Amino acid sequence: MPTKNVTDERLSKFKNKGKDPAKLRAKRITECVELRKAHKNENFLKRRNLTLSSLPDEEALSPDYIPNEDSNNIPVIQVTHLSIEDIIKDVNSDCRKSQTRGCQAARKLLSQERNPPLKEIIDAGLLSNFVSFLSMDDEPTLQFEAAWALTNIASGTSWHTQQVVEHGAVPAFISLLSSPMLHISEQAVWALGNIAGDGATYRDILIECNVIPALLSRISPDTPVGYLRNLTWTLSNLCRNKNPFPPLSAVQQMLPSLVQLLHLSDKDILSDACWAISYLSDGDNDRIEIVVKTGIVPRLVELMSHQELGVMTPALRSIGNIVSGSDLQTQTAIDAGVLNVLPKLMRHPKTSIQKEAAWALSNIAAGPCKQIQQLITCGLLPPLVHLLRNGDFKTQREAVWAVTNLTSGATVEQVVQLVQSGALEAIINLLQVKDAKVILVILDAINNIFMAAEKLGEMEKLSLLIEELGGLDRIEMLQNHDNEMVYQAAHNIIEKYFSDSDTRGEKVDATEDAFVFQSPDVQKAFEF
Amino acid sequence: MELNDANLQTLTEFLRKTLDPDPSVRRPAEKFLESVEGNQNYPLLLLTLLEKSQDNVIRVCAAVTFKNYIKRNWRIVEDEPNKISDPDRTAIKANIVNLMLSSPEQIQKQLSDAISIIGREDFPQKWPDLLTEMVTRFRSGDFHIINGVLRTAHSLFKRYRHEFKSNELWSEIKLVLDTFALPLTELFKATIELCQTHATDVNALKVLFSSLTLIAKLFYSLNFQDLPEFFEDHMETWMTNFHGLLTLDNKLLQTDDEEEAGLLELLKSQICDNAALYAQKYDEEFQPYLPRFVTAIWNLLVSTGQEVKYDLLVSNAIQFLASVCERPHYKHLFEDQNTLTSICEKVIVPNMEFRSADEEAFEDNSEEYIRRDLEGSDIDTRRRAACDLVRGLCKFFEGPVTAIFSGYVNSMLAEYAKTPRENWKHKDAAIYLVTSLASKAQTQKHGITQANELVNLTEFFVNHILPDLKSPNVNEFPVLKADAIKYVMIFRSQLPKEQLLQAVPLLITHLQAESTVEHTYASHALERLFTMRGPNNTTLITAAEMAPFTEQLLNNLFKALAFPGSAENEYIMKAIMRSFSLLQESIVPYIPTLIGQLTHKLLQVSKNPSKPHFNHYLFESLCLSVRITCKANPATVSSFEEALFPVFTEILQNDVQEFLPYVFQVMSLLLEIHSNSIPASYMALFPHLLQPVLWERTGNIPPLVRLLQAYLEKGGETIARSAADKIPGLLGVFQKLIASKANDHQGFYLLNSIIEHMPPESLIQYRKQIFILLFQRLQSSKTTKFIKSFLVFVNLYCVKYGAIALQEIFDSIQPKMFGMVLEKIVIPEVQKVSGPVEKKICAVGITKILTECPAMMDTEYTKLWTPLLQALIGFFELPEDDSIPDDEHFIDIEDTPGYQTAFSQLAFAGKKEHDPIGDAVGNPKILLAQSLHKLSTACPGRVPSMLSTSLNAEALQFLQGYLQAATVQLV
């Protein structure tokens, strides 16, 4: 008789019993209130003063640069520093040349490093002029300067962006995308990226205005790399933001191109394309499924080893998102070799990479015991223990989750391996962290490990081990913790595993000198 | 209630009465206040009184009453009436901050508490202006007011230190940061400046330093959950000033009090906590500041004295260093040999010294001393912190640290050797140092289990521990004696056996030491040594090896109980228990004297049981006396009964609740020794055991069930004959127990004993009712535990009364009941039955149903025959099904059910496994084969045909195996 299978089946019944397995996965679905500074290593929501690749000479972007006539499409206009009043006068004049001069002066003011006068320009009422210049196909210089000025304004706060949009810039920019002049088209790409980056609302307005087909049509084998970089960035902003997510149809439209971009070698394109994927996969399993279906997972796993941090980070984030999905989705990442890459990332010098890697691991550890086995076989326990011991606090927190998730889904043998790898000792040391949630999660893991020990009949051995490791002292101390749940969890562990069992019962009513033995006369038929 | 003078007057009267020491005056006043507190304006009357009353006592009393009123009533519970009217709520919130700030400190504290209770419910949504109102007060320049604000803020924000992250919590913190962080920072800077301008004004400094302490606490709360952007941006300001404060000393602020921590200590202590928080959680951002803090804190430690008032500061400061030195990237801060040496010399060694406060505790408060020194409740002591630092440093620097300390240990021992009388404390510190250095892992059960290999423990034992133990005067240098005993005790697993054997008689001698700590340690050490395991699962130290010392051991242990302060010393009593257990029959000659002393002790403690552990070991020792003596000579049981019953009677009559479960267990033990008859003295007690009041106490249930089982086993016949009128009461107990999910297995233990031992005819009239009750419970609440017990019972009944009787009684309750039980319960659930005896009962019972029940062959039950056989074979061959349905996961299941009472609070009162089938059936598989063979010869052809049509192939194969083993064939 196949005894072994029977046992396995039984064990699978035990897995996560009493718990909702979906909750084990620490997903980033809701946008959380943050106390910290915004993430430093994520890509920019909006950009100003970016290199515009289509300009032949990059120095052209310097606000002090005065281009020479004939060298390109931009005619020479001598600009000294005009005052706002002069700019207003110029822009409002009927003379194209003055308009161009005013516009360019405005653009330069708006490009200055410190405190560009965004509000002053808006208050001067110049936006409607700029927007109207956008449609002047016969005045490419003016068109370009206006586009640049508006781009810079749109790179400001939400209020600034709002001004640009409300002056009708969106349709004008979208038509500019098809400008035969590459640098003008690229300026439009950039402006639209800033608008999309403002948030879900403008992003969706752009999508409704059919920005996506207009953008995608500019991708061709001949498109210069620099242009593609900007375009990828704008696409990534169109994928960005939740509540709500971008419409599925838009996602479907963009994905094939993103996949294509991901196979290029330029690091900036790769970085933004990865960010785009990371936004798209940062959602429920249906969103993840759309990404997984494109077959991009192996490439993303490959990019996790990219030498550029800017690529590695979003690739890791994307895979992290994917392994927070269903077991099947997680399996695609495992099949693509994520478990071979993670150990290296877990020992990466950047703590942010360690943290993200530990987070991804914690989600894989929340899977079924078959995936846990793969995790163990690929040698993930030693780096996990390394992080528990040496990681910074945020990394340790993720690593603790990995341990707890693992202990709630693993077979007894797997739990034994985990304990032998030193994880128990490491999490016990972490019982002194100043974070109630982490402590609770550790206590949960200890409880799970006890449940495994119970099946092996090694409860006493485990109790002694925990005591030796200083865990008993720590858990006893946690009985004084101010957090009710921590106190309760610690108390339960002490009661259950470290003290002689108490007995309890429940009240049943009775009176007299003895109980009355009787059963009711009338009764329904028994049916079990 | 109007807000008028008359009501204020009345309220004043009643408040005054609540302070009356006479309960007959106080209670009615309290009741009155409670009865009127629901009225509108009541809280406002209290606020008026606490502000305006002429009598200071009334003001404070009103404040306390107000706070308690808020605590009870402010929270609005869903579906319950709002207990405070909305106008009152608004008025309270509008006035309380002002009132708090303008009140004297005693009242301010109460109101501050009240504000935080209200804040917990209403802040921020329903009390949006609270913070701005508070922050504006920072500008008042009046530090009495500012401190009031800070204190209130602290009580509002301190929950950020322990609550879980949530969007709601973090939104609140964000809001607090937005309004509070900048003003707090400004206040912090301004306060520090004021400290400089008022550097010579002690009164001003005191107020300013309490502000700084509160500000530092607020910093901790606000930074606890995560590093806020604001504080990251202002880290320079905060950390530079914290660092400055750590290094600051002002003679004016030093206190003369040796015990109570002064303002400087409190502030620095909090700063250490703040630094530790940043070092632990915000390492990356804090890194630039950390080395400075390490230096400052370590200088602080070097310059801080031994007084108790510095304890918290020193322990926090050392813990900070201990947590930092373990982190790989700070290793370099400690690496230098000079640094290590001076940490050892100036931080660790001084804090391991035995202080006068320790000496006082050793002499006058031995319980506290033992708790700290032996049981590890020394968490926040200096010694513990120093130990933790040693362990932290050993992570990277074990070799150098051991070498440095070896030097110190040697020089301290040399100091001691020169003039022991003056320098004995040096030796104490040396021993402590060796212990902390050597111990890498420790448990209560085994002592130190992993030692630093660089320390030679045996050598140290021979050269420095043994001489103290051997010194003829046990009362000289008691602290060093206690240290030496403790050394043996904790290193017992590391020391060779011959050293331990050498120590045993010396430890016995020290039981006579006058010092409580010393003789307690000696008892404890002996007890621990006696529990050590040797080869082959025996004790390491054998009774034979103890023979020369037996008499002295027992004498000294009992004499030690006579020392003042040790009359109920649990360590001594535990050592007595353990000695009995180790020595076994060699204690028999002493028992006649000892049992008298034990019962005398029992009588004394039963007057007022206060030491549960002592009492427990006392009962264990009694059990051991009984078992060991009666094992050699069962007839002596009556002499124990003679000695014990008078005390037991007293305990039962006085209803000493703590002791009843013990008494029942000892009685069970005594009764079980009797051979097959029940003495009249027990029968007299029988009716009393059925009293419901005893069964209402859950602690009584397991031992009482066991006692009743003993009654049934020894006196089933007697009960049927002379106490038949008590049978319904007995079954009533069963009925009560069966009704409870927690106790139903106990009900089955009882029922099984009734079925097994009561003459069948005495039960005839009750049998059907018993089954009906079981079926009812099965119908209403079918838990896995119940089913397992039910299956064992049904099969036991079948074994005892026969399969036909079982089938008939089922079917008499409801037609086709037997089939339904087989199909719905037995076949699908039998795999869950656990325990060897339980499994055997089920196997034999099912075999009987299969082979001795005609209805199984000839009626519609026949279709169940093969499935039942298949289930039985699975029961033999498959692993036990230990799954529990999801919905049962959260039921509290105290004991796993088994045939035996699992309750064994008294380890030495434990009873042997009882097997009602016993040797009658050796191998149930063979019995099945033989029974099937018998059945097949009775109706040839039918059995093989039933097998071949529906038994699955694997099961059939197993069955063939059984038939072969039994050398029978089916026909």
Query: Which among A7, A18, A22 is positioned nearest to B888, based on CA atoms?
Result: A18
Residues of A in contact with B825 (CB under 8 A): 528
Cβ contact (<8 Å) for B226 and A6?
no
* pLDDT classification of A50: cutoffs 50, 70, 90: low
Backbone φ and ψ of B962, nearest 5°: -65, -45
Alpha-carbon gap, residue B706 to B668, rounded angstroms: 7
pLDDT at B299 over 70: yes
Q: Which whole number is the average pLDDT over A360-386?
A: 95
Q: Which residue has the higher pLDDT, B802 or B892?
A: B802
Alpha-carbon gap, residue A441 to A444, rounded angstroms: 5
pLDDT of residue A73: 45
Pairing label, strands B439-443, B447-451: antiparallel
Q: Which residue has the higher pLDDT, B305 or A504?
A: B305
Q: Which of A439, A517, A521 to mutate to test the interface with B (most CBs of B within 10 A)?
A: A517
- Contact status, residue A195 vs residue A206, Cβ threshold 8 Å: yes
* Helix, strand or coil, per DSSP, at residue B393: helix
Cβ contact (<8 Å) for B692 and A514?
yes
* Helix, strand or coil, per DSSP, at residue B875: helix
pLDDT at A246 over 80: yes
Backbone φ and ψ of B508, nearest 5°: -60, -40
**What is the secondary structure of B257-324 as a DSSP string?**
-SSS--HHHHHHHHHHHHHHHHHHH-HHHHTTTHHHHHHHHHHHHHH--S-GGGHHHHHHHHHHHHHH
pLDDT of residue A68: 42
Nearest by CB: B229 against A36, A481, A503: A36
Average pLDDT, chain A: 84
Residues of B in contact with A486 (CB under 8 A): 162
pLDDT at B753 over 70: yes
Average pLDDT, chain B: 90
The alpha carbon dihedral of B197, B199, B204, B209 has a sign of positive
Alpha-carbon gap, residue B44 to B970, rounded angstroms: 94
Residues of B in contact with A526 (CB under 8 A): 775-776, 778-779, 813-814, 817, 820
CA distance A119 to chain B (A): 25
Cβ contact (<8 Å) for B163 and A483?
yes
pLDDT over 70 percentage in chain B: 97
pLDDT over 90 percentage in chain A: 69
pLDDT at A55 over 80: no
* Helix, strand or coil, per DSSP, at residue A322: helix
CA distance A367 to chain B (A): 20
* pLDDT classification of B537: cutoffs 50, 70, 90: confident
SS3 annotation, B119-167:
HHHHCCCCCCCHHHHHHHHHHHCCHHHHHHHHHHHHHHHHHHHCCCCCH
- Residues forming a β-bridge with B450: B441
pLDDT of residue B218: 97
Q: Which residue has the higher pLDDT, B455 or B960?
A: B960
pLDDT of residue B259: 82
Alpha-carbon gap, residue B340 to B393, rounded angstroms: 9
Query: Which among B70, B67, B43, B48 is positioned nearest to B59, based on CA atoms?
Result: B48
Cα R_g (chain B), whole angstroms: 37
Q: Which whole number is the average pLDDT over B351-380?
A: 84
| pLDDT tens digits, one per residue of B95-146 | 999 999 889 888 998 998 999 899 989 988 899 889 998 999 998 888 888 9
Residues of B in contact with A432 (CB under 8 A): 323
Backbone φ and ψ of B479, nearest 5°: -65, -45
Q: Running DSSP on this structure, what letter comes out for residue B539?
A: B
CA distance A4 to chain B (A): 9
CA distance B639 to chain A (A): 32
A215's enclosing H/E stretch is helix A211-216
* pLDDT classification of A525: cutoffs 50, 70, 90: confident
- Contact status, residue A72 vs residue A58, Cβ threshold 8 Å: no
| Cα A212 to Cα A174, A249, A280, B409, distances in angstroms | 9, 11, 15, 78
Closest-approach residue (CA) in chain A for B451:
A468
pLDDT over 70 percentage in chain A: 82
| pLDDT tens digits, one per residue of B573-595 | 999 999 999 999 999 999 999 99
pLDDT of residue B922: 85
* Helix, strand or coil, per DSSP, at residue B450: strand
Across A46-55, A340-349, B725-734, B895-904, least confident range = B895-904
Cβ contact (<8 Å) for A392 and B284?
yes
**Residue B105 carries which side chain, given as an amino acid letter?**
E
Closest-approach residue (CA) in chain B for A499:
B905
CA distance A437 to chain B (A): 6
Instruction: Show the tokens assigned to B958.
Output: 């197993």
- B482-519 burial, b for 16+ CB within 10 Å, e for fewer? bbbbbbbbbbbbbbeeebbebbbebbbbbbbbebbbbb
CA distance A440 to chain B (A): 10
| pLDDT tens digits, one per residue of A91-128 | 999 899 999 999 999 998 888 888 889 999 999 999 99
Alpha-carbon gap, residue B878 to B99, rounded angstroms: 75
Q: Which whole number is the average pLDDT over B312-322?
A: 90
pLDDT at A320 over 90: yes
Alpha-carbon gap, residue A26 to A29, rounded angstroms: 9
Domain boundaries, given as residue ranges, for chain B:
123-226, 229-333, 542-675
Alpha-carbon gap, residue A283 to A325, rounded angstroms: 9
pLDDT at A29 over 50: no
Residues of B in contact with A30 (CB under 8 A): 167
Q: Does domain A357-500 have CATH number 3.40.50.150?
A: no
pLDDT at B913 over 80: no
**What is the secondary structure of B512-536 as a DSSP string?**
T-SSHHHHHHHHHHHHHHHT-B-GG
| Cα A304 to Cα A320, A374, B53, distances in angstroms | 11, 19, 73
- Contact status, residue B481 vs residue B510, Cβ threshold 8 Å: yes
Closest-approach residue (CA) in chain B for A352:
B284
- Contact status, residue B411 vs residue B418, Cβ threshold 8 Å: no
pLDDT of residue B355: 87
Closest-approach residue (CA) in chain A for B823:
A528
The alpha carbon dihedral of B408, B409, B415, B418 has a sign of negative
Closest-approach residue (CA) in chain B for A455:
B882
Q: Which residue has the higher pLDDT, A14 or A176?
A: A176
Alpha-carbon gap, residue A328 to A370, rounded angstroms: 12
| pLDDT tens digits, one per residue of B51-88 | 999 999 999 999 999 999 999 999 988 888 888 999 99
The alpha carbon dihedral of B821, B824, B827, B832 has a sign of negative
pLDDT of residue A2: 36
Query: Which among A214, A181, A207 is positioned nearest to A52, based on CA atoms?
Result: A181
Alpha-carbon gap, residue B234 to B185, rounded angstroms: 8
Alpha-carbon gap, residue B206 to B382, rounded angstroms: 27
Alpha-carbon gap, residue A27 to B36, rounded angstroms: 52
Instruction: Show the tokens assigned to A482.
Output: 């101010």
Q: Which whole number is the average pLDDT over A17-32?
A: 44
Q: Which whole number is the average pLDDT over B350-358?
A: 88
CA distance A390 to chain B (A): 7
pLDDT at A19 over 50: no
pLDDT at B186 over 70: yes
pLDDT at B439 over 90: no
Query: Which among B180, B236, B190, B235 is positioned nearest to B212, based on CA atoms?
Result: B190
- Residues forming a β-bridge with B442: B448
- Contact status, residue A272 vs residue A45, Cβ threshold 8 Å: no
- Contact status, residue B60 vs residue B104, Cβ threshold 8 Å: no
E runs forming strands in B510-665: none
CA distance A406 to chain B (A): 20
Neighbouring C-beta atoms of residue A119, cutoff 10 Å: 14
Nearest by CB: A464 against B443, B882, B954: B443
Q: Which whole number is the average pLDDT over A289-296?
A: 96
Name the residue with tokens 């982190």: B327
pLDDT of residue B327: 85
**Residue A274 carries which side chain, given as an amino acid letter?**
C
Q: Which whole number is the average pLDDT over B782-803?
A: 94
pLDDT of residue A524: 66
Alpha-carbon gap, residue B893 to A269, rounded angstroms: 60
Q: Supply the pTM of this predicted model.
A: 0.74
* Helix, strand or coil, per DSSP, at residue B389: helix
Residues of A in contact with B754 (CB under 8 A): none
Neighbouring C-beta atoms of residue B29, cutoff 10 Å: 17
pLDDT at A291 over 80: yes
Cα R_g (chain A), whole angstroms: 31
- Contact status, residue A193 vs residue A237, Cβ threshold 8 Å: yes
Cβ contact (<8 Å) for B890 and A351?
no
pLDDT at B340 over 50: yes
For residue B552, count CB atoms less than 10 angstroms from its CB and return exposed for 0-12, middle for 13-18, buried for 19 or more: middle
pLDDT of residue B508: 97
Across A267-271, A374-378, B227-231, B338-342, least confident range = B338-342
Across A121-135, B271-285, B439-453, least confident range = B439-453
Cβ contact (<8 Å) for B726 and A514?
yes
Q: Running DSSP on this structure, what letter comes out for residue B830?
A: G
* pLDDT classification of A6: cutoffs 50, 70, 90: very low
Nearest by CB: A514 against B228, B376, B690: B690
CA angle (A316 as vertex; A314, A322 as ends), nearest 5: 105
Cβ contact (<8 Å) for A513 and B690?
yes
Across B363-377, B414-428, B453-467, B501-515, least confident range = B363-377
Query: Which among B801, B621, B634 is positioned nearest to B714, based on CA atoms?
Result: B634
Q: Prior bond to B23 cis, omega within 30?
A: no
| pLDDT tens digits, one per residue of B5-35 | 999 999 999 999 999 998 899 999 999 999 9
| pLDDT tens digits, one per residue of A174-192 | 999 999 999 999 999 999 9
Nearest by CB: A519 against B228, B736, B769: B769
Cβ contact (<8 Å) for B281 and A516?
no
Residues of A in contact with B661 (CB under 8 A): none
- Residues forming a β-bridge with B439: B451
pLDDT at A516 over 80: no
B46's enclosing H/E stretch is helix B42-52
pLDDT of residue A5: 37
Measured torsion, CA atoms of residues B152, B155, B159, B162, in degrees rounded to the nearest 10: 140
| pLDDT tens digits, one per residue of A433-487 | 999 999 999 999 999 999 999 888 888 889 999 999 989 989 999 988 989 999 9
* pLDDT classification of A12: cutoffs 50, 70, 90: very low
Domain boundaries, given as residue ranges, for chain A:
357-500
Q: Which whole number is the average pLDDT over A2-6?
A: 36
Q: Running DSSP on this structure, what letter comes out for residue B38?
A: T
**Residue A480 carries which side chain, given as an amino acid letter?**
N
pLDDT of residue A64: 42
